């Protein structure tokens, strides 16, 4: 029978809201104030958090914080699985000696598919930006800037 892991060996995010340390960021007022990254994120997720808020300052609001946190948390897991696969390889030996896909490869595929869905919601690819009308808004503002000169 398996036992629960020690807290320092556990991966992932806390399960309860009480364990989260930071509240939602304030709504953007047009200035470049980047909310503090959640304590649940590792280095990859923290860097991505800052980059997303910096680049999306005119698009993201406080209500997007949990979606962005989820995306950054998935990026942390992706980095962990990639490092593990780099170290151990993409295949391993099964119980009867046959070569099988490393369990982390399956987990990586799951994480990447979940990230793709969030990328659409966050406008992180050209198609989703067009669907969300973000590309047109940026183009209009650049055109307005040009015409106002």
Handedness of CA 111, 113, 115, 117 (dihedral sign): negative
The pLDDT score that the predictor gives to residue 22 is 47
- d(C-alpha 116, C-alpha 46), whole Å: 19
- d(C-alpha 119, C-alpha 125), whole Å: 7
Rg of the chain over all Cα atoms, to the nearest angstrom: 20
Where are the chain's structural domains? 27-147
- Local mean pLDDT, 10-residue blocks, the chain (149 residues): 66 57 46 83 96 89 93 98 96 93 96 95 87 63 57
The pLDDT score that the predictor gives to residue 7 is 67
The pLDDT score that the predictor gives to residue 127 is 85
The pLDDT score that the predictor gives to residue 9 is 67
End-to-end CA distance of the chain: 72
Put simply, whether the predicted model's pTM sits higher than 0.75 gets the answer no
Q: Which residue has the tokens 């007022």?
A: 29
The pLDDT score that the predictor gives to residue 57 is 84
The pLDDT score that the predictor gives to residue 131 is 80
Other beta carbons less than 10 A from residue 119's beta carbon = 14
């Amino acid at each position: 029978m398996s036992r629960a892991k020690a807290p320092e060996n556990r991966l992932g995010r806390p399960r309860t809201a009480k364990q989260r340390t930071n509240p939602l960021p304030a709504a953007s007022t047009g200035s470049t104030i980047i909310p503090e990254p959640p304590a649940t994120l590792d280095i990859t997720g923290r860097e991505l958090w800052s980059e997303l808020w910096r680049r999306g300052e005119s698009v993201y609001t406080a209500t997007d914080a949990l979606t962005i946190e989820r995306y950054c948390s998935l990026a942390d897991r992706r980095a962990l699985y990639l490092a593990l696969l780099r170290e151990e390889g993409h295949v391993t030996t099964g119980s009867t000696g046959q070569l099988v896909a490393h369990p982390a490869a399956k987990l990586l595929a799951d994480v990447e598919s979940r990230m793709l869905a969030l990328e659409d919601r966050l406008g992180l690819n050209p198609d989703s930006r067009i669907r969300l009308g973000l590309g047109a808004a940026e183009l209009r503002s650049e055109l307005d800037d040009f015409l106002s000169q």
